[in-house]
Amino acid sequence: MELLNEGFGYDCLRELEQNKLSKLAEEVRELIIDVSLRNGGHMASSLGCVELSIALLRQFDLREDRVIYDVGHQTYAHKILTDRLGLFNTLRTEGGLSGFPKQSESEFDHFNTGHSSTSISAALGYAKARDLLNKNHHVVALIGDASLINGLAFEALNHVNELNTRIILVLNDNTHSINRRIGGISNSIARLSSNPAYNKLKKSIKNICAVIPGGSSVEKRLERFRDHVKHIMKPENIFDDLGINYWGPFDGHDIPTIEGILKLAKRYDRPVLLHFITTKGKGYPEAENNPVYYHGVPSRDTCDNGIRKKSWSLAAAEKVEAIAERDPRIVCLTAAMTSGTKLDEFAKKNPGRFFDVGIAESHMLTLAAGMASGGLRPWVFIYSTFLQRAIDQLTHDIALQNLPVMIMVDRAGLVGDDGETHQGLFDVTWC
């Protein structure tokens, strides 16, 4: 590779000329694709976040500033560009790099993650610590549109205005979790992503000012007018209502644009949310066309003699399909894991009896409890590691009420590649 040679590191990135950034993004993608297809991993999410990672690393000094990635699915570019280039081929291998941010691995990883929706809460904690210790560095939380719907993220958003602290929230909007995102908040984000009337007017003003004499001066005089137009034509959004200034949407693959927005955000003295539109799987056509499959790709040694073994997930899904044909009370629920739990066929055959709640495990279990109380027979399909996030609902809302809810625990036990945040070790004690 031309730029990603063995001497390339974090300081090299910060000094790199603007005209070389597109080439760098291309090389980073090539490396992510090569290592992910060999070792397995969360490829599509990381491919979509390359330019955002480059811009964040260039605009913030991660030895002082704090940048927290939600979940960590999208951190492969971050790892490559923060002095771990030579180790990246060890990703998700024994003794190698973690597939998620890990503070013990690098000074540039500021919070250990693995489960979704923790970044805003952690960033707020960092920001208040900064304020109370009389420091002045920046704090950034990068969160995806699917993680944003989780209750923990909403609790944090609700607290931002009360804490009255300076924080930058970066919304990486690729319209997906693993499957396509769902829910009312998703629809609200989608409306923010495309307001043709306002965006067309804004572009027209900019184009006109670019070609007329003294156009830049004219554009400045029009700023106040454009602000009025923005308030009239821009869709109302929940972030402004929560006291978080919303900026966007912007192209999340245009590095100069991203860097320009980040520079402005650093000078802003109030909470701000920057909305960037990205493409999951960017730069790898197969992943762009099928981001669900390429969200998490298996390693090459997953198959025995070239034949993939039938998984517990598939066997469980086939069983519930058969039972549901005989019992109309059966419904299936999952939390953004339709494909992972092999419920695609059930959803196609029984669309009115299938519920993907998004990344909202606690809600899902209490929803199932309500369904059971109302006479249905819910089957909840959930990874063991994510069931940890709903233990209170499992105990209080289902078990103590002795409700007929079937909990289908996927990925139980030692599951290996994703590390300690994804081990299924606690479910035995819940039985």
Catalytic positions are 280, 361, 389
The gap from C-alpha 130 to its chain's centroid, in whole angstroms, comes to 25
The gap from C-alpha 47 to its chain's centroid, in whole angstroms, comes to 12
Are 114 and 388 in contact by the 8 Å Cβ rule? The answer is no
Cis peptide before 285 (omega within 30 of 0): no
Residue 431 tokens read as: 């039985």
- One-letter amino acid of 239: F
Q: Which residues pair with 245 in a beta bridge?
A: 272
- 329-367 per-residue burial string, b: 16 or more CB within 10 A, e: under 16: ebbbbbbbbbbbbbbeebbeebeebbbbbbbbbbbbbbb
Report the residue count for the chain: 431
Residue 307 tokens read as: 């034949």
Identify the CA nearest to 418 among candidates 8, 101, 13: 101
Would you call 83 exposed, middle or buried from its count of C-beta atoms within 10 A (0-12, 13-18, 19+)?
middle
Q: Strand 66-69 to strand 139-144: parallel, antiparallel, or no bridges (unpaired)? A: parallel
Quote the CA–CA distance of 427 and 412 in Å, as a whole number. 7
State the angle between helix axes of 255-266 and 21-39 in degrees (0 to 180), rounded to the nearest 10.
100
Identify the CA nearest to 404 among candidates 431, 367, 377: 377
- The secondary structure of residue 304, as a DSSP letter, is B
Identify the CA nearest to 83 among candidates 100, 65, 105: 105
Quote the CA–CA distance of 261 and 385 in Å, as a whole number. 37
Q: How many helices (H) and strands (E) does the chain have?
A: 19, 9
Q: Identify the three-state secondary structure at position 274.
A: strand
- The secondary structure of residue 389, as a DSSP letter, is G
